Amino acid sequence: MLANVGTQAAFNTNAWEFLTAGTPLNPNTKWTAQGSTTMSLRELIEWPASATGGTHAGKSQGEIIMANLQDNAFNAIVSAIVIPMGFKVGRKVLRKPIRMGNKLLKTAGLRSMVKI
């Protein structure tokens, strides 16, 4: 989840599309979106010729990433704080059912193979 927050903030796309755009794993997603704020890993490696249209035409990779970070910084910071807090609260709420499940597995003799 935090990887998704980071790629959304810097590259304006989710982690899956950032990593797989234009590859055999995700052939339907364009790997290049020059002229827009969306970037993929392949586009970072193989920066094509300058864009002819769009809001970021002719800008470098660094300029586009900085523009994305400025636009998405607040959401990224809030998400990076709230997501771990949500997991901690969920873990505290589910502590008793997890403990009961582990006890049940121990009495069934499966504790050494399975742990909740």
The more confident residue out of 34 and 25 is: 25
Whether residue 61 has pLDDT greater than 90: no
The pLDDT, as a whole number, for residue 78 is 92
Q: CA 111, 115, 116 angle in degrees (round to 5)?
A: 135
Other C-beta atoms closer than 10 Å to the C-beta of 58 total 11
Q: What is the pLDDT of residues 1-30, one digit of tens each?
A: 888 888 888 888 888 888 888 788 877 777
Q: In the predicted model, is pLDDT for residue 74 greater than 70?
A: yes
Q: Looking at per-residue confidence, does 109 or 90 come out higher?
A: 90
pTM of the model: 0.60
| Residue keyed to tokens 């597995």 | 105
User: What percent of the chain lies above the pLDDT cut of 70?
Assistant: 84
SS (H, E, C) the chain: CHHHHHHHHHHCCCHHHHHHECCCCECCCCCCCCCCCCCCHHHHHCCCCCCCCCCCCCCCHHHHHHHHHHHHHHHHHHHHHHHHHHHHHHHHHCHHHHHHHHHHHHHCCCCCCCCC
What is the pLDDT at residue 25? 83
CB crowding 84-116: b at 16 or more within 10 Å, else e: eeeeeeeeeeeeeeeeeeeeebeeeeeeeeeee
